[in-house]
Structure 1
Amino acid sequence: MGLSAAGYADWDYTQPEQWSTLNQKYSACNGLNQSPINIEQTVKAALEPLNFSYNTLIQAIENKGHTIQVDFAQGGELQLDGDSFVLKQFHLHSPSENLIKGKSYPLEIHFVHANAKGELAVVGMMFEQGQANPMLERMWKRLPKKQGEKVVLKTPQPVSQMLPKNLDYYRFSGSLTTPPCSEGVRWLILKDIQQASAQQIAEFSKLMGHPNNRPVQPLNGRLIVE
């Protein structure tokens, strides 16, 4: 997961353990605070409620080769740590990158936000196989099939409907999950698991042609709070 998701890059998912050797800009991929992680052995804390104001619309869907990225009009924000983080994009991973108590999910969405200083906050949302997801259904009809292809929606879609009512979450400090693997990212993983149909999951996997998840990284003493 990067701010521009994956881009058209000099790396792929075949040997993610070698990312740090491909380019000196990727040296952080060997860092001690890398994502994704396995979320377990959490610490109870009085976490602030997540305050979303997603008054924005999905404008475009782009095939980045390594993921599908969805871009937004201005107007989406997350209030966190007394600061405003603007929603930049979301993109998808299949299977999930983060694990919850050792469990992998067939699909994970990363909502990427940035504050005025360029610091990132990423909200992760897991999907299990079940009922068809109406929001994904509308997007899936417009999925660009070729790398580099971008579909601009004639009727922009509201994004607020994607969030669950229950916004309980896990929090930890981590990194981008794709090169340059920059650290200092605030990670917030929603506990409420969403549903997507087997067909929706299969369509995304087929479009990618390969798993696009980085393996979980060592915690190295980091705390996971909930």
Structure 2
Amino acid sequence: MKINDFFIAKMLCCLLLTACSTQPLPSEESIYDVKAENHSNHLESDTIEVNSSHASEWSYEGKTGPKHWGELDPAYSTCAKGKEQSPINIEASQLIESTSPEKMIIQSEPTTFTLVNTGHTIQANPITKRNVIVLDGKTYSLEQLHFHTPSEHQFNGKNFAMEFHLVHKDPYGKLAVLGVMVQEGSENEILAAAWNALPKKELDKSIVKEPIDVKTLIPHNQTGFHYNGSLTTPPCTEGIKWIVFEQPIQMSKNQIQVFKGIFPDNHRPVQPINQREIIKK
């Protein structure tokens, strides 16, 4: 090889080595970082999936029944520690007569409802938000209604055959619940279409073929017992405005038995009143 050729070849090699040095190979550390990042994302994804699909099981009997709700999950601690829990026993001797002339306003229209068996009750969901109540100057929209047997609230220590709750929410997320007692009597024609469509298995859904005007489900005499309470199911959240109507409505023995055939007993026992006032108005 000529000397000139040798120098040219040497220079070409140097240039190639310099070019290669400007494109560093990934280090072991950087590979580990990528793996760690992917692993972290995988764990986060799993956690989200588990949290979204898992909730502590509760029921109305045995080790997961009402006596143990507060022990099942830290999120349910209010069920045991709360001081304004629902339902309650409403004793005539403890009532305070209201001196306020202001009455609750109920505004409703015939509405289509969908039904779902939640595993704890039958819940009816309106397809619109146009059913509202105005309570103490605040407007609450009907979110859903659901049923319990026997009644959760008691009057002078006695339960009714059933009770249903109309759950309303204001724009800030505050809840107001209307409680309606049900006694055995004549067939309730307003609920007949819903009863024909009751989903019998957990998570089953159906649609009530005939629209329901919820105002027709509420007693003609709207005298009620107002008090501060809670949800009657976990997590037993407090700060709920309760109005339990004094006058019950009627359902037939057959209608009551149909519901009992799905949920033989889905009521929470009454809770201590503590220092709360129950106002009749």
In the alignment, what sits opposite 1:4? none
User: Are 1:151 and 2:201 matched, yes or no?
Assistant: no
Counterpart pick for 2:145 among 90, 94, 105: 90
**Aligned-residue RMSD, C-alpha:** 1.4
Superposed displacement of residue 189, structure 1: 0.5
Counterpart pick for 2:120 among 57, 66, 69: 66
SS at match of 1:184: strand
In the alignment, what sits opposite 1:183? 238
2: distance between equivalents of 1:155 and 1:42? 39
Letter in 2 for 1:158: D
User: Are 1:32 and 2:70 matched, yes or no?
Assistant: no
Superposed displacement of residue 9, structure 1: 6.0
SS at match of 1:157: coil
**TM-score after normalising by structure 2:** 0.75
Deviations, residues 130-184 of structure 1 (Å, cap 9, x unaligned): 1111112221111111110110234433323212221111111000000000000
User: Are 1:10 and 2:60 matched, yes or no?
Assistant: no
1: distance between equivalents of 2:74 and 2:188? 41
Question: Which ranges in structure 1 are unaligned for 5 or more consecutive residues?
Answer: 1-7
User: Are 1:45 and 2:98 matched, yes or no?
Assistant: yes
In the alignment, what sits opposite 2:69? 19
1: distance between equivalents of 2:208 and 2:149? 24
2: distance between equivalents of 1:21 and 1:9? 10
2: distance between equivalents of 1:130 and 1:136? 14
The count of residues paired between Structure 1 and Structure 2 equals 218
Bigger proportion of residues as helix:
2
Superposed displacement of residue 102, structure 1: 1.2
User: Are 1:111 and 2:166 matched, yes or no?
Assistant: yes
1: distance between equivalents of 2:112 and 2:150? 23
In the alignment, what sits opposite 1:3? none
Q: Please identify runs of 4+ aligned residues in structure 1 that moved more than 6 A.
A: none
Deviations, residues 179-225 of structure 1 (Å, cap 9, x unaligned): 000000000001111111111111101111x3000000001111111
SS at match of 2:163: strand
Superposed displacement of residue 65, structure 1: 1.1
1: distance between equivalents of 2:271 and 2:152? 10
Structure possessing the higher relative contact order (Cα contacts under 8 Å, 6 or more residues apart): 1
Superposed displacement of residue 68, structure 1: 0.3
Alpha carbons 2:224, 2:246 under 8 Å: kept: yes
2: distance between equivalents of 1:67 and 1:9? 17
Structure 2 matches for 1:77-226, cutoff 5 A? 77-208=132-263, 210-226=264-280
Superposed displacement of residue 117, structure 1: 0.9
Letter in 1 for 2:88: I
Taking only the aligned residue pairs, the percentage that are identical comes to 39
